[in-house]
Amino acid sequence: MPMVKRIRLSFVPGIEVEFVDRDRAIQQVIEWSERSTRFPIVVYGPEGCGKTAWLRQTAEVLSERGYEVFYIHPLDRLVYADVSIPSVKEAFLEFAQKAFAEDALSRIVWALFDFVRDLLKVRKARVAIIADDVFQAIGLRYAAAYVKGLLNMIEYPQYSYERMVVIVATSEGVSKAEIGRHRWADLMPMWNMSREGFEQLYRQIPGPKPSFEEVWRITGGNPGMLAKLYKAKWSVDEVIKSITTSKDLDTFILSLSAEERKWLLEAVENPDTLPAKEKLPLMQKLIELNLIISSIIYRDPELWIDQPPPQKDLELGIGKHIAWQTPLHREAVRKALQEASIA
């Protein structure tokens, strides 16, 4: 793989780390840069699996290869434009700052089309559009329409371009189903980090910490969960409580019938027990709560961003068809079930 400058990222406030691993994912970006993306690439995967870090590294890779890069992450209130036309760059940043000040995040998402056209009106260029978690900013009902707009920009541009790379990332499990109903994008899953790459990240974290084996077992290689553990002073219970509260698992458990609770307990031990006709409503609820990832039966590397998960690893909550987003998500559900049975 060609040498790539590795960016530095904020791990938690006050601590920066170097982007590590994901060599295969970077190579995929390089390949797209050489031929354009035929359809928008919509990347989905577990919350905290590293999609945002990879997208920011992707922006660097594409910029190094002569692309005019527009990057937006509305929920983080972060945008930048690495473009060669000063007037377009300044107008884009000014527009974004005003939208942030007015808490109008969706404006930035939709305005991206206009600024790309403004750039191409001035010069024929290589253009990259990188959009992170935009569906939460515009609402799920507009997700498919937004992707169709990106496809139209690729297929029917108002002004010609040299090459175009379009990548959109989402953590919303339900958005995958909404977009997948159409043939307007290439949907590609991304999994948590590989064991080797995760260890590289783990070793960048300062101070006393549990053994790598213990951290790997409870996070499953999810860098977001690693950051949560660090901020919680390595308290697994505190992180589980955070997951339980943020997803309102207690209310969710109370809403289930006795039979559904039994099914859920079985899924805690083996998520592959979920795909059954009578269990589909339960499985859909778990997807909506971003607790599981479905439709992962095919592990062909070309279908995935970076490396696919192992074929099966029940210790980490990974089945052949279904996987818990992380072992900590699974343990939060297990504990909520136990407390509901005691109450």
More confidently predicted of 133 and 173 = 133
Q: Indicate the domain borders of the chain.
A: 8-189, 238-342
**CATH class of the domain defined by 8-189:** alpha beta
Q: Could you give the dihedral angle defined by the CA atoms of residues 142, 147, 148 and 153, in that order, rounded to the nearest 10 degrees?
A: 130
- Give the tens place of pLDDT for each residue, 77-124: 999 999 999 999 999 999 999 999 999 999 999 999 999 999 999 999
Tell me what the pLDDT averaged over the chain comes to. 95
Give me the residues paired with residue 69 across strands.
82, 128
Contact of 282 with 263, CB cutoff 8 Å:
yes
Provide long-range contacts, Cβ within 8 A and 24+ apart, for 209-212: 209/234, 210/234
Residue 263: strand, helix, or coil: helix
Give percent of the chain with pLDDT exceeding 70. Answer: 98
Residue 235 has a pLDDT of: 98
Question: What confidence tier does 1 reach under pLDDT thresholds 50, 70, 90?
Answer: low
- Give the tens place of pLDDT for each residue, 180-191: 778 899 999 999
Residue 174 has a pLDDT of: 66
Contact of 273 with 323, CB cutoff 8 Å:
no
Mean pLDDT of 218-247: 98
- Give the tens place of pLDDT for each residue, 294-338: 989 999 999 999 999 999 999 999 999 999 999 999 999 999 999
Mean pLDDT of 123-148: 94
**pLDDT over threshold 80, residue 73:** yes
Residue 343 has a pLDDT of: 55
Note the pTM of the prediction, 2 decimals.
0.94
